[in-house]
Copies of this chain bind each other. A is one copy, B any other.
């Protein structure tokens, strides 16, 4: 009931939704200036509010970034879940869609990705939890692939998930951002597809050749 102006912004003395507005502002600032290229005051200014206002919602700059990271991990998890479901009943299609989605998120949501992975060590429990949710999608995608493999030949599922995560992440970090592409004459997405295929073949999950 308090939210009846959807394209809101300010509504007078009270902002209405400053907390979310600050997070959105910081996301933009990170996109433009990197994870540390802004100050607490700048965040307030970007949200159109006095420099003291953010203290009502965040202890300090790090708490703000942590919330951006948490929101980023949640968006990431949803992004991966959607890709997973698009695979429908085909485990291999679902799997490949998830790995592709990893890259597209990293490329298209650079600000979130930066907050999630570059913003220092102070990982709160909430951030970890949101991160785990994203990781679980990867793991489920692996499980789907592995389910029909004879148990004796089945790789430890969490190991496999960590591997896939690492490949996706490595490619995203090294080749998945603007400016980095000059390093590789291959598209990041193609590089990932080929790498994952080789890995799956190594597990005996794809036919040879």
- For A149, the chain B residues whose CB sits under 8 A away are none
Copies per assembly:
2
CA A165 – CA B174 in complex, angstroms? 9
Dominant secondary structure of chain A at its interface with chain B: helix
Cross-chain contact of A120 among B34, B120, B155 (Cβ < 8 A): B34
Contacts A159-B186, A163-B195, A169-B170 given; 8 further ones with Cβ under 8 A? A34-B36, A34-B120, A118-B118, A121-B179, A162-B191, A166-B174, A169-B174, A201-B201
Q: Which residues between 14 and 50 of chain A lie within 8 Å of chain B, taking CB atoms? A: 34-36
User: Which single member of B117, B121, B163 contacts A173 (CB below 8 Å)?
Assistant: B117
1/0 per position for A86-101, CB-CB distance to B under 8 A?
0000000000000000
Q: Which B residues touch A169, using CB under 8 A?
A: 169-170, 173-174
Does B166 lie within 8 Å of A171, measured CB to CB? yes
Q: Which residues of B contact A117 (CB under 8 A)?
A: 173
Which residues A82-127 have CB closer than 8 A to chain B?
117-118, 120-121, 123
- A-B contacts, 24 of them at CB < 8 A, read A34-B120, A35-B36, A158-B184, A159-B186, A159-B191, A162-B174, A162-B186, A163-B194, A166-B166, A166-B167, A166-B195, A167-B170, A168-B170, A169-B169, A169-B170, A169-B173, A170-B170, A195-B199, A197-B202, A198-B202, A198-B203, A199-B199, A202-B202, A202-B203
Task: Give the CA-CA distance A121 to B198 in the complex, in Å.
Answer: 31
